Amino acid sequence: MSNISKVSKFIKALLLFIITLQVSVYIVLFLFATTQGESGEIWFHYLGLSSGMLMNFNGSWADIAQALVKENFNPSLILGIPATIPYFLIYYFLYKLFSLYQQGIIFTVKNSQYIKNIAAVLIAWVVFKLIYPIAVTVVLSFSDMSESLPLILSIGSEELVFLLTGLIIYVIAWVMNEAIVLQQEQELII
Amino acid sequence: MAMIIELDVMLAKRKMKLNDLAEQVGITAQNLSVLKSGRAKAIRFSTLEAICKTLNCQPGDILIYQSDDEIS
């Protein structure tokens, strides 16, 4: 148990580090990004530093990013912000889950709920990833801001990996529920 | 349930308090209370042995089987 606590503490620290890093990268990106590349990646030039691909999209998002750049829209704003939401949701649930593990609380309904939430975010993200580029095109076309944006729908390996991971995590949450029942029974063995 | 725990009867016979028994058996008073109230799902042989040793009795003095028909 003490090992779980120790590792959980380390993972929480790691999560905080990743969140800080990601937030600061986004802040720098939105404030100082100067050039947007052909395939939607953003080049960052600041104080003589030059680095690219800080935020790159793939699949249908790369296509829509490319189309948005051609139409003089900012893909980092339109695509970048929604792309970060699932990450932060997952970080939040992971942080909560490992906080419980750190306290030695492992088989409770809360634990299983957090695991289920992570799975739900992953599965919802796949659906969102498919629908969002179409929604962007439809909204921009109907608001007369663009006429030539294409409707893009594509399913790539990334979506399938997310879907599979989400489903596997969902099943693990079910298994955890069984463990909770066992734990509750164990508590009634004197 | 058809199994009846008569721990309180045995405790009264031995003029012993629940807390004292818990201390001597080495389990918490809370767990012993779960056992006494009949909410327990099972009892470990080690616990049963310790209770019998402390109360100087047989398992049959604490655990009584009563069929569901008799209860109703």
pLDDT per position as a tens digit, A113-141 = 999 999 999 999 999 888 888 888 888 77
Enumerate the residues of chain B whose CB falls inside 8 A of the CB of residue A188.
34, 39-42
Beta-strand ranges (E) seen in chain A are 33-36, 42-46, 49-51
Enumerate the residues of chain A whose CB falls inside 8 A of the CB of residue B43.
189-190
Q: What is the mean pLDDT of residues A3-18?
A: 94
Nearest to B41 by CA among A75, A114, A182: A182
The DSSP code for A151 is P
Please state the domain count of chain A: 1
8 Å CB contact of B32 and A188 = no
Q: Which domain holds residue A135?
A: 2-189
Enumerate the residues of chain A whose CB falls inside 8 A of the CB of residue B47.
190
ipTM of the predicted structure? 0.80
Percentage of chain A beyond pLDDT 90 is: 39
pTM greater than 0.95:
no
How far is B70 from chain A, CA to nearest CA, in Å?
26
8 Å CB contact of A185 and B44 = no
Question: What pLDDT, on a 0 to 100 scale, did the predictor assign at position A54?
Answer: 45
**Lowest mean per-residue pLDDT among A28-37, A134-143, A158-167:** A28-37
